[in-house]
Homo-oligomer: A and B are copies of this chain.
Amino acid sequence: MKEYTVVFQPGDAAVEVSAASTIMEAMDKAGIDFDFPCGGRGKCGKCRVRVLSGAGGPTAAEREILGPRELSAGTRLACAAKVHGHMSVELPQRLEHNVLMASGERNCRIEPHLKKIFVNVEKPSLSAQRSDWRRLKDSLAQYGYGTAHLDIPVALLRRLPETMRRADHCLTVVMHGSEAAGIEEHDTTAAMLGMALDIGTTTIVGYLLDLYSGKELCAVSMLNPQTRFGADVISRINFANREDGGLDKLHKAVLEAVNKLIGEAAGKAGVGREQVYGVSIAANTCMHHLFLGVNPRNIAVSPYVSAVSEPLVTGARDLNIDINPSGKIFMLPNIAGFVGADTSAVLLATELNKSQDIKLVIDIGTNGEIALGSRERMAACSAAAGPAFEGAQISGGMRGAAGAIDHVRFEAGLAYSVIGGGRPLGICGSALLDAVAGLLELGIINKRGKLLPRDQLTNAAAELKDRLVEQEGQSAFLLAGADKTGHGRPVMITQSDIRELQLAKGAIAAGIRVLMETLGIGPGDIREVLLAGAFGNYLNPRSACVIGLIPPELENKIKMIGNAAGTGAKLALLSSSEYRKAAQIAEFVEFVELGSYPGFNGIFARNTYF
């Protein structure tokens, strides 16, 4: 029989097929990965391609689905159109989706981890007595699964014979790599949702996405219920190891929360939770381990190693995650004990590994994760900032919640803003930064962090001298007094508060310094500073630079990028190649352990100065 050459664009894959083969058969022969949701029966119209010459006349199915306009433009159905001459076929571009970051967006080509394939399985007969699973595999062979060894879990096998017959042999198979992860009756290819989760120590944020279009259906968040067992990573590790069944309690608490959040998101979007097939997880190393039920103990003791850093895929059922039973959980990779999968996600979102220019990425929290580098080289560390940025250990400190002073200005007298308005109840991290920066610029605090006595103040500062008070034997600056009725506590910044901030900013600044030393660069070599996370998006860049949290030379290069860990989780969920990229990034980053860095104590001490 006559053979013709079919060339596929883009990619230039070429294949010889005999006359009257369908384009679908040619694709199969060329090993082109393409979905035929209706099983190549010319029903769904989802295999549109563009053909310039060499095809036979349109079939009835093509006429019905495509109509004269599409046909005259060369559009054909790959499953129906036949090869009658040498042919060039233009394949549709795969869907690219914009994944939003607070200040900018990046494209990602959608490549779902899981594929849904609708098949019309051959019915058994005395002349087709192959087993159910074999006939199903033979149907899958048209979709490129012909040569691979396919796996099926026993649990699924138990349901196969009945499901198959109840659905009159029309099945949708959920494939994960070479494993048949799920089997559903009839054509369910339309629904394929996923949830990207950023499990923070304090807050869990989730995004419900359509895995085909990449569209975000809704975002949800909740307090991490593990907080009742400890506010920070270290106290949870202690709880896991000192309390009876502590690890299990922490593990179950986060699973319950995740299940609740998925339910909430599904409800909000008006879909069923069983339509969710994939969940990606970005989290710090401790949250990552607790989610899996792995004891994070060794993260907390020298030499601070995690149990696992590699990306891990596990069945939703194995972890009791209440989504479609065939669903999979995709854990992003950790980098080190205190630089977790959340940082991998941030680096994936910011594409540091692709950048020609050197960038600095900082995610400030109780631990500040810092990464510096470009596609040439990348280093990361975790700086133990302590809780000052979150308002803890500060005399009037509180979280950035209603009633907190969140920003302070000293232009034309002292002014501050309160979250939700009204009388201030306390001060949160971003305002502490502003206040200290202002006092520093006014000369009320010196470079070593000392609140100067009234008689040493400059003229400019003298206007505020009445605010310098004594408080329990130490100097303090009165930010907001009690109200006229004498109600409420005055909000002060004490000398100890300033010392706490110095320790926190010293840790971050020293981390940045060490990373610069590691790469042999200075602040002038850094093109951009990307601030991720809640605190990073709230602080005033100028204040951060004035107090030396961030090198002052970089003030105009600071960009807020929102919840970049969440963005990274979305990317890893929508695209298997982004997920693989996260693993490459985690491998590529050089982890710098600050505790063992030569001369670190000196660097830290110097950086506590303003």
Contacts and interface: CB of A to CB of B under 8 A. Distances in A.
A309 B134 contact: yes
A314 B303 CA distance: 38
Given A158-B292, A162-B295, A303-B128, A133 B591 contact: no
A591 B129 contact: yes
A305 to B, nearest CB: 4
Contacts of A319: 154
Contacts of A127: 596
Contacts of A307: 131-133, 157, 160-161
Contacts of A134: 308-310
Given A132-B308, A307-B133, A309-B131, A158 B295 contact: yes
B126 A596 contact: yes
A133 B308 contact: yes
A305 B124 contact: yes
B131 A305 contact: yes
A532 to B, nearest CB: 23
A599 to B, nearest CB: 15
A157 B308 contact: yes
A118 to B, nearest CB: 21
B295 A161 contact: yes
Nearest to A150: B310
Interface string A541-584: 00000000000000000000000000000000000000000000
Contacts of A294: 154, 157-158, 160-161
A335 to B, nearest CB: 10
Interface residues of A, number: 47
A305 B154 contact: no
A148 interface: no
A307 to B, nearest CB: 5
A62 to B, nearest CB: 35
Contacts of A293: 154, 158
A305 B162 contact: no
Contact of A132 (B158, B298, B302, B314): B298
A131 B308 contact: yes
Interface string A356-375: 00000000000000000000
Interface in A288-304: 292-295, 297-298, 302-304
A517 B591 CA distance: 72
14 contacts: A124-B305, A129-B304, A130-B309, A131-B308, A131-B334, A132-B305, A134-B310, A153-B318, A154-B292, A154-B314, A154-B319, A157-B292, A157-B312, A165-B298
